Amino acid sequence: MFSPRTLKPALPLTATIIRSAVGRTFSTVKQPELGYAYNALEPHISADIMETHYSKHHKNYTNTYNASIEKYLEAVEAGDLVKQNALARAVKFNAGGYVNHNLFWKSLLPVAEGGGKLPAAESALGKAIVLQYGSFDKLIELIDQTQAGLQGAGWTWLVKDKTDGKLDVITTANQDMVPSKYSVILALDNWEHAYYLQYKNVKAEYFKAVWNVINWKEAERRYEQ
Ligand code: MN3
């Protein structure tokens, strides 16, 4: 456990430790429930993928974030800037992995529970999509092109600009979070671990299949917030 009293500060000559509240308390995060069974998204996303993705990858981001934030705060207390620099990267990466997957799990829904069912054309989100993109199909085509064009690991997002309320399709690299000027409507994991066990290198097939289990109800709820 984090205990400032037991630390031996490695104090750089040019730094002064300020005994502020910083680092004295911190909170850890818990992995939320998935909300459906591992096999509930089959045949579109296999149980094997869901189990590995949730119980290994996401769990690892969660645990590593918790360990890293504790070590980071120890490095802050100790005035160790080299450790802070290294740990800040681990905190950023794993915080992103934790938060992005929470948004992703809620962006999916079993077909039996309404997964894949598009928003009504007269809903606020439905109207915004048709106004900006012409049709649902055009938006889906744009998102699929965006996912296919993303190089390396990352995410594709349907977002709402908080200032003007407009929709946008953006990507982030690695586990980078969506910039705070946007709110997330849909999160789409484009990492290989999201599809490789089932779709191998044919990621376009995965992008097509995932629309069958997209949680548009959640997207509508987020859009109206
Ligand atoms: Mn993932």
Tokens of 74: 């120890």
Reduce the DSSP state of residue 64 to 3 states and report it. helix
- Residues 204 and 145: their CA atoms lie apart, in Å, by 9
Tokens of 224: 């109206």
Q: Find the 194 Cα to ligand 1 centroid distance in Å.
A: 5
32: how many CB neighbours lie within 10 A of its CB? Answer: 13
Backbone angles phi, psi at 158, to 5 degrees: -95, 120
Residue pair 216/108 in contact by the 8 Å Cβ criterion = no
Residue pLDDT tens, the chain, 225 long:
444 444 444 444 455 544 444 546 678 899 999 999 999 999 999 999 999 999 999 999 999 999 999 899 889 888 999 999 999 999 999 999 999 999 999 999 999 999 999 999 999 999 999 999 999 999 999 999 999 999 999 999 999 999 999 999 999 999 999 999 999 999 999 999 999 999 999 999 999 999 999 999 999 999 999
Q: Find the 90 Cα to ligand 1 centroid distance in Å.
A: 16
Tokens of 24: 């004295």
pLDDT of residue 11: 45
Q: 124-133 and 136-149 are packed helices; what angle lies between their axes, rounded to 10 degrees?
A: 70
- For residues 205, 206, 208, 210, the Cα torsion angle rounded to the nearest 10 degrees is 160
Which residues fall within 8 angstroms of residue 15, CB to CB, at 6 or more apart?
Answer: 79, 81
Q: Find the 70 Cα to ligand 1 centroid distance in Å.
A: 24
Tokens of 157: 């997002």
Residue from 172, 156, 149 nearest 210 by CA = 156
pTM: 0.89
Q: Find the 209 Cα to ligand 1 centroid distance in Å.
A: 17
